[in-house]
Copies of this chain bind each other. A is one copy, B any other.
Amino acid sequence: MAKTRIVFILYPRLTQLDFTGPYEVLARVPNTEVIIASKDGGVLKTEMGLTFTDLAKLSDVSSADMIMIPGGPGQTEAMQDADFMAEVKRLGAGARYITSVCTGSLILAAAGLITGKRAGSHWAYRELLSMFGAIPDDARVVRDGNVITGGGVTAGIDIALTIAAELAGDDVAKMIQLAIEYAPAPPFNSGRPELAEEKTVAAVKQLFSAFAQQRREAIEHMTGTA
């Protein structure tokens, strides 16, 4: 049986845990080939400075059975990069599964890969999906046919375990969960706006406000809705 080829599509200034969480899970799924690729290949610097190397070049990747796109501040620039988006569209068009973490779904939406589909995203940017014709869903893992997306950053681990079960069965996904000791015990209960204290939500929204404005304006420009 041919291996399932999972292609992580990266871009500069992504949030590295959006990628590294799912990567840890999906690299452990039997009968898969995991490719990590970016437009230029080689070296890629992420949001906080951590830098990857030895990435494949997207144009050298002939096809994908699954694409997965993480989110992050660089997403705004990435969705406006025509060469990058052409590769996303090409690989997405041939893929059996279209997946993302966090604001990676905005790239899927901008590429026209999830039009009319329910999709998740980071809570602070989720509503922007509708500007591209996707349907925002606030679940941590959102599945609509062959489109598997979800919430922000750490949701990628839950998304990837769901994908592992889809590809290899529940028993394999459970083994991976045990291997990475994923029995989370957050020291606080502050992981979603509905759970966090009001002052925490206000402070984080303030931190994100420039990004949110920048993203909205970019999408208005792209979709002619300004």
B50 touches A20 (CB 8 A): yes
Chain B residues lying within 8 Å of A158, measured Cβ to Cβ, are: 184-187
Q: Are A141 and B50 in contact (CB under 8 A)?
A: no
**In the complex, what residues of B have CB within 8 A of residue A179's CB?**
152-153, 204, 207-208
Tell me the nearest residue of chain B to A48, going by C-beta: B27
**Cross-interface CB contact of A50 among B28, B52, B183, cutoff 8 Å:** B52
Smallest beta-carbon distance A34→chain B, Å: 8
18 residue pairs of the A-B complex, CB under 8 angstroms, read: A20-B50, A23-B48, A24-B48, A27-B48, A34-B49, A43-B53, A51-B52, A152-B179, A152-B180, A161-B188, A170-B188, A173-B188, A174-B190, A174-B200, A178-B193, A179-B204, A182-B186, A183-B186
Among A183, A186, A190, A193, the one with the most B-chain Cβ atoms within 10 Å of its Cβ is: A183
Instruction: Give the number of copies in the complex.
Output: 2
A214-B174 Cα distance, complex, nearest whole Å: 25
Show the binding face of A for B, using Cβ within 8 Å. 15-17, 20-21, 23-24, 27-28, 34, 36, 43, 48-54, 102, 122-123, 140-141, 151-155, 157-158, 161-162, 165, 170-171, 173-175, 177-188, 190-193, 195-197, 199-201, 203-204, 207-208
Residue of B nearest to A28 (CB): B48
Besides A53-B53, A177-B190, 15 more A-B contacts (Cβ < 8 Å) are: A17-B23, A20-B50, A23-B50, A27-B48, A28-B48, A36-B50, A51-B52, A151-B183, A161-B186, A161-B188, A173-B190, A175-B200, A182-B184, A182-B186, A183-B191
Contact B187 A183, beta carbon cutoff 8 Å: no
Return A209 CB to nearest CB of chain B, in Å.
Answer: 13
A171-B185 contact given A48-B24, A154-B157, CB 8 Å threshold = no
The answer to whether A186 touches B192 (Cβ under 8 A) is no
State whether A178 and B154 are in contact (beta carbons under 8 Å apart), knowing that A15-B24, A141-B185 are contacts in the complex: no
Partner of A177, one of B155, B175, B177, B191: B191
Which of chain B's residues have a CB closer than 8 A to the CB of A24? 15-17, 48, 153
Q: A43 vs B51: C-alpha distance in the bound complex, in angstroms? A: 10
